[in-house]
Amino acid sequence: MKKLLYMICIAVLSVANCKEKEKSDDTTNFGLLAIAASLSSGITEIPFQIVAGSDTAPKCNKLIQGHSGSVMDTKHISESMNFYIKDARFYVHDVKLVKADGSTVDFTLTSDNKWQTSKVALLDFEDKTGDCTGTTETNTSIKGTAPAGSYVGVQFKVGVPFDLNHLNSTTADAPLNNSGMFWAWASGYIFMKFDWAAKEGAGTSNSFHLGSVGCNGSGTSVLTTSCTYPNRPTITIKTSGSVTWNPTANPVYFDIKALVSGTNSNLSSSGKAYTCMAGNNGGMSGTTAADCKILLNNVGVNETDGTSASVQSTFYLKP
């Protein structure tokens, strides 16, 4: 399609050139400039790719290996912790492109009535095979518009914006009408849902569900007015050395091994089951606040107040 448009453009140019050379004035140039800009470097898609350390194609029903001895990943998890993905979905919003000088330009989401509205997008890496029970469809990129420019990276917030998070979502539009991503007990959305199963020994079923907690509705209002722990991390990732970033060549990596780095859910190797539902103030079913802190920190949340931490290790740009 792009090629076709390009050819038409050339044709138009040629014709223009042939006909009235001396009348090839500013107006024509502006028009051509506009066509050229819309064709070339405006950014319309930011792909995301799930990876597990050096494994660039992890998926449901595939064993994700801990360190096997020969593979030395930079993201360290327990040597023996092998696991299967059970769920891997998250929302993003407030997407911006980052320039070398640190300034940002909005990447405006376009609604498709399925995976994104103009304000929030759902990325879905689970396909309902194996231990995964969500939806067969997946979504691994976000679509929108941003002007052409020289960018070195991307910034986004994980989660659903506050003003959309606590509505009575009975009438919400896609992707906010996904029952698997609504957190009924907290009356808000699960910002990130990463569940995994370890099969060694008796096996463990593990959950990391990020979402706002400590929320209060006030008076007769159905709406929540504030949450003590927003848990909506801002992720800023850039190319190394201020190299111009090309999103389609260097997608955003979502590294699940980095996300669970520091945990051990292998029961036959002194591990435990992790149940971290937000987790700022202690987990459930025997999981402690310290256990959940590891996961919160890995995804860039300061566990003490639910604000965005200065560092995160889960997301990076494909080198």
Partner 1 sequence: MKLYKALLLLGILSFANACVPDFLDLKKSKNDNNLLLLALALSQGSGWVWNLPPGFPTPTVPSENPMSQAKVDLGRFLFYDKKLSANESMSCSSCHFQNLAFSDGKATPSGITSEAHPRNAQHLSNAAYHPRLTWSNSLLKTLEQQARVPMFSLAPPELGLANEDYLGKLKSDSNYRKLFSAAFGNGDSAVTEQNVRFALASFQRTMISGYSPFDKANNGNRSAMSASATRGASVFNGEVAECFHCHGGFNFTDTTLHTKQTSEEFAYHNNGTHNNAFYDALPLNKQGLKEVTLVNSDQGKFRAPSLRNVGVTFPYMHDGSIMCDDSTNPGHPTGVASGATLETCARNALGKVIDQYTAGGAGTPKHTSIDTTLIRPFSLQPSEKADLINFLLALTDSEFLTDSKFSNPFP
Residues that bind partner 1 (CB under 8 A): 128, 133-135, 168, 170-171, 177, 179-180, 182, 184-187, 207, 209, 213-217, 219-220, 222, 224, 228-229, 275, 277, 280-287
In the complex, what is the shortest distance from the CB of residue 301 to partner 1, in angstroms, rounded to a whole number?
15
Residues 6+ apart with CB under 8 A from 36: 9
In the complex, what is the shortest distance from the CB of residue 3 to partner 1, in angstroms, rounded to a whole number?
40
Q: Are 48 and 141 in contact (CB under 8 A)?
A: yes
154 vs 160, beta carbon nearer partner 1: 160
In the complex, what is the shortest distance from the CB of residue 315 to partner 1, in angstroms, rounded to a whole number?
24
In the complex, what is the shortest distance from the CB of residue 271 to partner 1, in angstroms, rounded to a whole number?
18
108 vs 129, beta carbon nearer partner 1: 129
158 vs 227, beta carbon nearer partner 1: 227
Query: Which DSSP symbol is given to 22?
Result: T
How far is Cα 285 from Cα 270, in angstroms, rounded to an integer? Answer: 17
183 vs 253, beta carbon nearer partner 1: 183
Backbone angles phi, psi at 11, to 5 degrees: -60, -50
65 vs 165, beta carbon nearer partner 1: 165
**In angstroms, how far is CA 286 from the centroid of its own chain?**
29
In the complex, what is the shortest distance from the CB of residue 193 to partner 1, in angstroms, rounded to a whole number?
9
**In angstroms, how far is CA 283 from the centroid of its own chain?**
23
- Which amino acid is residue 52, in one-letter code? A
Question: How far apart, in Å, are the Cα atoms of 200 and each of 121, 197, 205, 269?
Answer: 35, 9, 11, 9
How far is Cα 91 from Cα 235, in angstroms, rounded to an integer? Answer: 12
Residues composing the chain: 319
In the complex, what is the shortest distance from the CB of residue 184 to partner 1, in angstroms, rounded to a whole number?
3
224 vs 239, beta carbon nearer partner 1: 224
169 vs 297, beta carbon nearer partner 1: 169
In the complex, what is the shortest distance from the CB of residue 109 to partner 1, in angstroms, rounded to a whole number?
24
Q: Are 276 and 295 in contact (CB under 8 A)?
A: yes
Question: How far apart, in Å, are the Cα atoms of 117 and each of 134, 172, 194, 289?
Answer: 20, 11, 22, 34
- Which amino acid is residue 141, in one-letter code? S
In the complex, what is the shortest distance from the CB of residue 195 to partner 1, in angstroms, rounded to a whole number?
8
Question: How far apart, in Å, are the Cα atoms of 157 and each of 23, 62, 69, 237?
Answer: 50, 29, 35, 12
14 vs 285, beta carbon nearer partner 1: 285
Backbone angles phi, psi at 285, to 5 degrees: 50, 45
